[in-house]
Amino acid sequence: MTFPILRVARPTNDIEALLPFYREGLGFEVLYQFEDHDGFDGVMLGQRGYPYHFEFTHHRGYIVAGAPSQDNLLVFYLPDLGEWRQAVDRMQAHGFAPFPAYNSYWDEHGATFEDADGYRIVLQQGTW
């Protein structure tokens, strides 16, 4: 059985500034990179075999705004307490401190982290 694959794609002004957050902090690997494809540079990050990945692109000569609000979230549900603790510890070990969530619901069983563009990721300890 095949499943759809989700790509979360968004522009950035600085791909290199995002890499430590997603690669070292979240533990993703670079799946693909490209340079100057019709003026765009990009990188895709994820884990091989998972049904989702992130794509960050930069259009040379253009500037984009950061996150529109502190409530723009991507949420990863980690039901195993040990796995969740490891994920939070890895983020902190790489210099990414949790932020208080804009919506306090996410602070009850999760930890919220912000990337270099101001977009937030929640590591939620629980099931969806």
pLDDT digit string (tens) for 69-81?
A: 999 999 999 999 9
**Into how many domains does the chain fold?**
2
pLDDT of residue 112: 98
Question: Is residue 68 included in any domain, yes or no?
Answer: no
Question: Is residue 1 included in any domain, yes or no?
Answer: no
User: What is the distance between the alpha carbons of residues 114 and 76, in angstroms, rounded to a whole number?
Assistant: 14
The answer on 20 and 53 residing in a single domain is yes
Identify the CATH number of the domain in which residue 23 sits.
3.10.180.10
pLDDT digit string (tens) for 89-98?
A: 999 999 999 9
Q: For residue 24, how many other CB atoms are within 10 A of its CB? A: 15
Residue 121 lies in domain: 73-125
How many H-runs (helices) and E-runs (strands) does the chain carry? 3, 7
The answer on 82 and 55 residing in a single domain is no
pLDDT digit string (tens) for 39-62?
A: 999 999 999 999 999 999 999 999
Q: Assess whether pLDDT exceeds 80 at residue 1.
A: no
Question: Is residue 66 included in any domain, yes or no?
Answer: no
- pTM, two decimals, is 0.93
Q: Can you point out the beta strands (E) in 1-128?
A: 6-11, 29-37, 40-46, 52-59, 73-78, 110-114, 120-125
The answer on 54 and 10 residing in a single domain is yes
